[in-house]
Amino acid sequence: MRRLSTVCALLLLSACSPRHADGAAAAPATSAADDSNAPAETDPPNAKGQHPAFPGQTRAPALTTATQFQVITFAKGLDHPWSLAFLPDGRMLVTERAGRMRIVGKDGALSPPAGGVPATVQGEQAGLFGLALDPAFNANGLVYLAYEEPRGGGLSGLSVARGKLTEAGGKPALTGVTVIFRAQPAMDSKANMGGRMTFAPDGSLFLGVGDRFVPEGQHRAQTLDNDLGKVVHIHPDGSSPRDNPFVGKPGARPEIWSLGHRNIESAAINPWTHRLWTVEHGPRGGDEINIPQAGKNYGWPVITYGEDYSGQPVGDGITAHAGMEQPIYYWDPVIAPSGMAFYDAALFPAWKGSLFVGGLASTHLARLTLKGDRVVGEEWLLQDLGERIRDVVVGPEGALYLLTDDDNGRILKIVLK
């Protein structure tokens, strides 16, 4: 049976904040592992005979903390909400996979659906996905949306559009909507689209593109003539930065940052190192946390932890190969991660320095403690929630906000008890 973590237990704090050799501050140390050193995950792995590449790469020691909190329903009535972002005035924007975007008031009231949102493909996992505000939103009002765009002939592809947010008569709208990026090629599939994006400190945009859950897309994750199974790195207008790793390489798409990914559904910038972190869905037993670096290959589908849904090995069933990167952490069994947030706020001092990851399959919130670029402990919160967690966001006051992926999805707010 899976170990139950409690809300109230012993917390050991470390006051130090070590620095990396490059001078970037490391994550503050938070709670320590239980004396038993037992992992949070105790169910047997899906894949037999696999071993982590280094100690602590999976099944980190279980944590318990003395942090007492309560979970309140901040808003409800959302159709499979996917992404949330705070506006400068404290209200929120939220996307619904069904193809709608709304403003959520400070009282939790939902606006009518915004006008001007691009048409999306619907069915299975397809729809409207990630949401991001332009770094200069106060000046330009631009909102970026990632979505599954119909491309004709039954084909579709992940696209990013931007438009200016306006409000008239109590109804929000996007005006001047322009598609700035279209992942290539279009395919006949409604799964593993990716769709999570985040702005880098320099104002450029990172986007995760999935492999589309078909053999052709899986194989293309290893080639540079397409965007499938890649992290894409673009300017806000959709152009490719000149220092992207494959710019000028014959046959390679200039927007590619890294390759060999399966289905990235979480992306965030580490506030202490300023580097991109991603979490992606693997096969059965192969969910990963990565720190994608320019030009690096993260292995899918040549190497992976876990196994195919059929119970057979993926490819040759290997977990390591020369020239391919290891995840810094993986889950087997999977949690189906979606939504990730680094905690650098003051409301929960004991959680400062933690990485929070929502679980779709596990229906719990994972709190990971970090030492540099390694996971050293894991606490499972909200294990009795029973709802799929799609997004995790730290609010301006330090509270945690979660989106639950349901026909009647909610925005949950975690506050001090």
Residue written as token pair 């409301």? 347
d(CA 83, CA 193): 15
3-state secondary structure of 218: helix
State which H helix or E strand residue 295 sits in.
none
Sequence spans of domains, the chain: 69-416
Q: Can you tell me the mean pLDDT for 227-238? A: 98
d(CA 347, CA 162): 33
Query: Residue 105 above 70 pLDDT?
Result: yes
Query: Residue 15 above 70 pLDDT?
Result: no
Query: Residue 41 above 80 pLDDT?
Result: yes
Residue written as token pair 């995790």? 392
11 band by pLDDT with thresholds 50, 70 and 90: very low
Do the beta carbons of residue 126 and residue 113 sit within 8 Å? no
Q: 151 or 27, which is more confident?
A: 151
3-state secondary structure of 266: strand
Fold entry, domain 69-416: Neuraminidase (2.120.10)
pLDDT of residue 36: 63
**Per-residue model confidence as pLDDT tens digits over 120-141:** 999 999 999 999 999 999 999 9
